[in-house]
Structure 1
Amino acid sequence: MSLRYPFEALHLYTAPLSGCSARIRIASHLKSIPLTYHNVDFSKSEQTSSSYLSVNPNGSVPSLVVHTSSSGNFTITQSPAVLDFLESHFPAPPLLPVGKEKWKERARVIELVSLVACDIQPPQNSRIRKKLEEEFGGDGIKWARYVYERGFSVYEESLERGRKLDGEDGGRGRYSVGSEVSLADVFLVPAVQGALRVGVETERWPLLKGVVDECWKLEAFRKGGLGGHGRLVP
């Protein structure tokens, strides 16, 4: 897919093991959106360099710099905002259910997205873990496991409820909501990969594991996930 007016180029600042960045990479592969990648090396603290802080004052990834033909550059930070931009301007395939008759499915997708984006990812973020260890004498890995395990248990229950609402046929849906990939899956897979890095296994949540296994069959998830090319496969 080539970019359409008014966009001349899309530059994504990313990091291989950033779950938030992986969401953008997966979505871009699903939609065949051409992005120019710029790796931010956290091991060298490049996220706190003056050059990168001029792009994103929060010192985090992802950052999407949109080059336009009429109004210069515009930077979007925070993965939900970036994904909203991509969904709005590159709607095929849709990652949010569309149509008035799909309002329940859309609400369920956004609910699951919010569970990962608000209740799972931020509390176990490496920046939080480091602060917990260095200033409060805590165990960052143990804390991260707790956050993941609690969040995945809620996600599993949400999947159970969704399948009951859908009835027998809907219960055989392959993904988080029904039989089509959605933003819920785009958020879930990097979170599960992050959990594997701290020793959390997914067998305790069979519905969640089944969804991730289905996603991992798709090249977009293998290319865009943490590390890319099949690393940390659940």
Structure 2
Amino acid sequence: MLTMASEKPILYSYFRSSCSWRVRIALALKGIAYDVVPVNLLKDGGQQLAIIHYLEDTCPNPRLLPQDLKKRAQVRMIADHIVSGIQPLQNLSVLKQMGEKKMEWAQNCIASGFQALEQTLEHTAGRYCVGDEVSMADLCLVPQVFNAERFKVDMGPYPTITRINKALLELEAFKVSHPSLQPDTPAELRA
């Protein structure tokens, strides 16, 4: 959750949350300083893509949605695919229900989602998910690839996803927002 009660926004964040990471990237890209209040998602809940839409509406530069309407629709389609079609299926609440099969479940869900995503990106990608400018889709992609790596998904079948992810991780906003650099990251997971 992001609150704007003071001059500086407050982000209620969990170091390894894909949702929180997307928001941290957006804030870094837009150059918005913020305070972090760590939240344990095992107890307190999560973030929404709506925060990034809010940031886009209130701080439009740099733009995270292209002006070109076709590209804008592509960005939204990719972002929605990741945040609705892949990421929720590997959330902690779902994985708890899978018991001993949770690793296999997560791998299968991610692989299935990445197969469709790879096909889409073959038509939309430039340097990034849609063309050569960072977009909302890219903010969704990087945390999802991180999760895929955590669940030991073979990334070999996804060369476009892998190439885009590598290019994005070279950008400062993606580096500073990385889970290993957050104040609530356990010491053993810090970079």
Common topology (TM > 0.5): yes
Aligned twin of 2:50:
81
Aligned twin of 2:86:
120
Aligned twin of 1:21:
20
Aligned pair 1:208/2:154, yes or no?
no
CA distance in 1, matches of 2:13, 2:5: 23
CA distance in 1, matches of 2:190, 2:118: 21
Aligned twin of 1:168:
none
Q: Deviations over 1:167-191 (max 9, x none)?
A: xxxxxx2000000000000000000
The sequence identity of aligned pairs, in percent, is: 34
Q: Decide whether aligned partners of structure 1 residues 201 and 226 sit closer, same or farther in structure 2, where only a CA change above 3 A counts.
A: farther
Q: 2:123 aligns with which of 153, 156, 161?
A: 161
CA distance in 1, matches of 2:163, 2:123: 16
How does 1:1-234 map onto structure 2 within 5 Å? Answer: 8-42=7-41, 45=42, 47=43, 59-62=44-47, 78=48, 80-98=49-67, 102-133=68-99, 139-162=101-124, 173-228=126-181
Letter in 2 for 1:94: R
Q: Deviations over 1:182-211 (max 9, x none)?
A: 000000000000111111132221111110
Tell me the matched-pair count. Answer: 182
Structure 1's unaligned 5+ residue stretches are 48-58, 63-77, 164-172
Partner SS for 2:10:
strand
Structure that is richer in strand per residue: 1
Partner SS for 1:12:
strand
Give the C-alpha shift of residue 124 in structure 1: 1.0
Structure that is richer in helix per residue: 2
Q: Decide whether aligned partners of structure 1 residues 88 and 12 sit closer, same or farther in structure 2, where only a CA change above 3 A counts.
A: same
Higher alpha-carbon Rg: 1
CA distance in 2, matches of 1:149, 1:159: 15
CA distance in 1, matches of 2:172, 2:142: 13
Q: Decide whether aligned partners of structure 1 residues 177 and 161 sit closer, same or farther in structure 2, where only a CA change above 3 A counts.
A: same
Give the C-alpha shift of residue 10 in structure 1: 1.1
Q: Decide whether aligned partners of structure 1 residues 41 and 107 sit closer, same or farther in structure 2, where only a CA change above 3 A counts.
A: same
CA contact (8 A) 1:95 1:182 kept: yes
Partner SS for 1:107:
helix
Query: Following superposition, which runs of at least 4 residues in structure 1 exceed 3 angstroms of deviation?
Result: none
Normalization by structure 2: what TM-score? 0.88
Letter in 1 for 2:91: N
Partner SS for 1:38:
strand
Using CA pairs below 8 Å that are at least 6 residues apart, which structure has the higher relative contact order? 2
Letter in 1 for 2:107: R
Aligned twin of 1:170:
none
